Structure 1
Amino acid sequence: MSSTPIFSTPPPPPPLPHANTTRSSTTLHNPPPEKIAILIDKSKSLNHLNQVHAFLYRHNLHDHPILNFKLQRSYSSLGHLNRSLALFNKTQNPNVFFYTSIIHAHTIHNLHHLALLFYVQMLSQNVFPNAFTFSSILKSCPIEPAKLLHGQAIKFGFDAELYVRTCLVDVYARGGDVVSARTLFDAMPEKSLVSLTAMITCYAKYGMIDEARVLFDGLEERDAICWNVMIDGYAQHGLPNEGLLLFRQMLNAKVRPNEVTVLAVLSACGQTGALETGRWVHSYIENNGIGINVRVGTSLIDMYSKCGSLEDARLVFERISNKDVVAWNSMVVGYAMHGFSQDALRLFKEMCMIGYQPTDITFIGVLNACSHAGLVSEGWKFFYSMKDEYGIEPKVEHYGCMVNLLGRAGYLEEAYELVKNMEIDQDPVLWGTLLGACRLHGNIALGEQIAEYLVSQNLANSGTYVLLSNIYAAAGNWEGVARVRTLMKESGFEKEPGCSSIEVNNKVHEFLAGDLRHPKSREIYEMLEEINGWLKTHGYTPQTDIVLHDLEDAQKERSLGVHSEKLALAFGLITTKPGTTIKIVKNLRVCADCHAVTKLISKITGRKVVMRDRNRFHHFVNGLCSCGDYW
């Protein structure tokens, strides 16, 4: 590498002022280099550092190796890499400390390529690295060059140094090479908090949550970073309840949450529908100086929307100053998932009029809004405008919205053609959506055709078989149901169990169909008996045609009566005050029978019930649902 400066040399710094020669200003009159070095280290502003630099020029100390080195390092730490680099390039025969400093300066500015070039230049000048050189260059280094540097560290005998080994573990962990990271980690005789955090991060990121938790539990001391990594790992890998429990342990351990913490916790709250916990986090944010910036505000909007409180989501949205398109998207998506389609479309038009450029996420919200309202022509218009007006190539999610829109509206052939002719890879979720539409409209022939195609292309999953079973069961074809169940068993698939959750007194309670594990099971089933009496009085007839087994009607009724959402509803009725809104989250689509029952319960009890299923929100009030029975 040439020694020609990469950046031009800056003009000489301004001279020190000579006026007002007081006792404090004369302390710089030929002081020893050690005092000047201390002055450089204490410099907190570019102006102050420039004055010291000018003093060195006037007193012919600008080539002093220690002072030059400290100036170079200080300019870099203040964010002025060009000045630091100019000093380095004027240094005669820089030693390993100068090289390590300039390498570190480029690394912290994410200029990894240039940092590597300086490392190569150093070796070409027969200047050998030390442990700090490797720890500096490995920080945030991409994994491929890091592998080469690992070899260099072994060659120079620094690979066993604690700082170097910690950086190597971090590099391999960030790069996804879990085996190499673990091998290095296990061989460390002394494990630092940084190396432990790196390993926890790597297991959590790649779904090895149990392994990460073992390491986490083994920590003698835990800083906020460790807690954040573990909580976020749970939230990102479908274990939000565990994340919320760990958050409570973090608070009990007197570790102060920060912005990263609250973002992870809000995500977990949104997944479980833990509204009261989310509100507590919101209050904590406002009372502890974290601040509601755009990022935190957007997370609050997302949490409140997913927890069923669209009013709170809108209040947060209105309070965010300098909204970005992500904040607008969150509000559009929030309205759409609650079925408030016209509000979502109005907000979309408003953001476009103000001048925001829609993104692919914006159109997911807009197309979902059309889907929930059956707005077929509007949906096609938005779908085509993505590419024609905004240059956004539709992704599988957008095709999924269109298939859902067309399928629910009964345009099965159009949906089928759209999936067959799309220009992206085939996706089993899309076919599953279309199969669900076949079940909804009783199109057995097309359903069988789709299912056979998915099996032949190895795209079938448990949902494929369950939906086909639904189609056969709805038509009373029990032989077909039995055949599909046999195929499902032979393929090793298991039906995803329905699970409903409800938050009461800041604790999330989960129920499976027929669940008897809850401490209040006796009271819950007593309430179910009472509910059944109410329903019969109001002329309710169980929708036994949705049961997937060839059973007697009485057995089918018993099967329907213990669905997970009914258990959650009964639990809500016995544990909350009369008039309180009941909020339920289900992992699957709410069945037609549970939908009909919940409408009646809202009328009988005068309670509002908000239920989030896999597709959307349902707001049950006085015997009616916000979906208009279209879902």
Structure 2
Amino acid sequence: MNPAATELSLQTHINQLKKSSESLQPARYASLLQKCTEQKSAAAGKLVHQHILSSGCGVNRYIQNHLIFMYAKCGCLEDALEVFELLPNPNVFSWTALITAYAKEGHLREVLGLFRKMQLDGTKPDAFVFSTVLTACSSAGALNEGKAIHDCAVLAGMETQVVGNAIVNLYGKCGRVHEAKAVFERLPERNLVSWNALIAANAQNGHCKDAMQVFHLMDLDGSVRPNDATFVSVVDACSNLLDLPRGKSTHERIIRTGFDSYLFVGNSLVNMYGKCGSVDRARLVFEKMRLRDVLSWTSLIAAYALNGHRSAALEWNQRMDLEGIPPNDITFVSILFACGHSGLVYQGRDFFVSMVEDHSILPTMEHYGCMIDLLARAGWLEEATQLINLSPFGHKSFEWLTLLGACKMHGNQGLASQVAKQVFVKDPKSASPYMLLLRTKTCRME
């Protein structure tokens, strides 16, 4: 049944409920709540809930679990918790539904609190609960909490494939690649998720050659075939290694296996070709993509900007604007970089202001760095100094070093001496300010 028909069917049943106060069988209520869950219709779910209460059905764990699950899937955490707290004896399904709901919304503290209460209640967590809690720890980068859950899983004899995969993912997300590899090697069985987790752990933490080696071992193992997630990690590894030949061969394999139509795969390919200096290939991949998002456009703009095609980068940014795709913070980094290396001071300043006023994007250290570099390159040294003083990242020595380098470029010895003092304070052990200051004086003498 298509979604529109399902929605109509649900509305028909809700209208029937409104006309009758007669209690339904638990299985009938469960079926209705499942339809509400599928449609993510909290409003319809609440009407079913009201009918359950008004018909005097009472507290029924089977129905209550479906209510918790429905509210959880609809993002109504307070309602889910309220129903849960009415249960005299929640079972593992009840706990799982509630923990999953809080995990999905990124509420790690509540997830951990519920997990502890579940244990104190005497309900033994199953593999899915352990996996959910570990994934929540991964998303929050909570290594210590995740390790504690890992210990609980080991004590409970729950180091299953599902839990093991979540642990590999946790250690990978938290930068502990060796621990991720150790858990992976202990897994009694490995599926595609296991291999993907280890490949991603290596690729995301700069161990790109190891990521490629794990990918090769997965091929040799022969028990699984790569999917879109695998190829995204492998292409990202090629990007960071600047390995264009391997990136091209991976792209050919992606085409053969039919994963070139996937959005994230396409984005990673555009990014890879851009980083490896093959802008034309990046554009070809972009133009063949059936679906594009802000990351697709940003990757292409960055490809042009990083490879010296600054005018093209600005043109593609204009096309992106005409397509109605709102830029993100990374887009503005590429645009400001392009303006800085093209001497477009006024245009760069307008982009910087627009980022804040029109798109409500707070400037990061990278944005300030690009803008300071733009002003300094153009010889607007006083303005660059003012921006550093206004920047919340002005305590970073690299911003002052950028300005000091510009003082050398423009032969401004007086300002160079003042700026060098700031760098000495920020980073007294660095030799860079001494060398730049000496070169500035040398340029002045010449």
Q: TM-score range by the shorter chain?
A: 0.7 to 0.9
Q: Could you say what secondary structure the match of 1:139 adopts? A: helix
Which residue matches 1:483? none
Partner Cα separation in structure 2 for residue 466 and residue 346 of structure 1: 40
Query: 1:130 corresponds to which letter in structure 2?
Result: N
Which residue matches 2:175? 207
Q: Could you say what secondary structure the match of 1:118 adopts? A: helix
The answer on 1:471 being equivalent to 2:436 is yes
Partner Cα separation in structure 2 for residue 296 and residue 461 of structure 1: 45
Which residue matches 1:565? none
Identity of aligned residues (%): 29
Name which of 402, 410, 421 aligns with 2:371.
402
> Structure 2 vs 1, CA of residues 138 and 383 (structure 1 numbering), >3 Å: closer, same or farther?
closer
Partner Cα separation in structure 2 for residue 461 and residue 135 of structure 1: 54
Which residue matches 2:391? 422
Partner Cα separation in structure 2 for residue 87 and residue 389 of structure 1: 43
Partner Cα separation in structure 2 for residue 175 and residue 475 of structure 1: 46
- The Cα of 1:274 is off from its aligned counterpart by 1.6
TM-score normalised to structure 1 length: 0.59
Tell me if structure 2 keeps the 8 A contact 1:232–1:264.
yes
- Cα RMSD, aligned residues only: 3.7
Larger radius of gyration: 1
- The Cα of 1:448 is off from its aligned counterpart by 5.6
Which structure 2 residues correspond to residues 475-494 of structure 1 after superposition, within 5 A? none
Which residue matches 1:375? 344
**More deviation, 338-347/401-410:** 401-410
Q: Could you say what secondary structure the match of 1:189 adopts? A: coil
Partner Cα separation in structure 1 for residue 177 and residue 404 of structure 2: 34
The answer on 1:184 being equivalent to 2:149 is yes
Which residue matches 2:241? 272
The number of residues matched between the two structures is 422
TM-score normalised to structure 2 length: 0.80
Which residue matches 1:129? 90
Query: 1:157 corresponds to which letter in structure 2?
Result: G
- The Cα of 1:202 is off from its aligned counterpart by 1.8
The answer on 1:283 being equivalent to 2:220 is no
Which residue matches 2:69? 104
Partner Cα separation in structure 2 for residue 140 and residue 450 of structure 1: 52
Which residue matches 1:148? 113
- The Cα of 1:133 is off from its aligned counterpart by 1.5
> Structure 2 vs 1, CA of residues 215 and 116 (structure 1 numbering), >3 Å: closer, same or farther?
same
- The Cα of 1:89 is off from its aligned counterpart by 4.1
**More deviation, 261-270/77-86:** 77-86
Query: 2:402 corresponds to which letter in structure 1?
Result: T
- Ranges in structure 2 where 5+ consecutive residues have no aligned partner: none
The answer on 1:256 being equivalent to 2:230 is no
Partner Cα separation in structure 1 for residue 291 and residue 193 of structure 2: 29
> Structure 2 vs 1, CA of residues 237 and 166 (structure 1 numbering), >3 Å: closer, same or farther?
closer
Q: Could you say what secondary structure the match of 1:191 adopts? A: coil
The answer on 1:460 being equivalent to 2:427 is yes
- The Cα of 1:386 is off from its aligned counterpart by 3.9
Q: Could you say what secondary structure the match of 1:153 adopts? A: helix
Name which of 285, 288, 293 aligns with 1:324.
293
- The Cα of 1:404 is off from its aligned counterpart by 1.9
**Higher share of residues assigned strand:** 1
- The Cα of 1:129 is off from its aligned counterpart by 0.5
- The Cα of 1:341 is off from its aligned counterpart by 1.4
Partner Cα separation in structure 2 for residue 328 and residue 396 of structure 1: 22
Tell me if structure 2 keeps the 8 A contact 1:332–1:362.
yes
Q: Could you say what secondary structure the match of 2:98 adopts? A: helix
Q: Could you say what secondary structure the match of 1:373 adopts? A: coil
Partner Cα separation in structure 1 for residue 305 and residue 7 of structure 2: 53
> Structure 2 vs 1, CA of residues 350 and 67 (structure 1 numbering), >3 Å: closer, same or farther?
closer
Structure with more contact order per residue of length (Cα contacts < 8 Å, sep ≥ 6): 1
**Higher share of residues assigned helix:** 2
Which residue matches 1:344? 313
Which structure 2 residues correspond to residues 349-368 of structure 1 after superposition, within 5 A? 349-368=318-337
- The Cα of 1:165 is off from its aligned counterpart by 4.5
Query: 2:156 corresponds to which letter in structure 1?
Result: M
Partner Cα separation in structure 2 for residue 362 and residue 161 of structure 1: 43
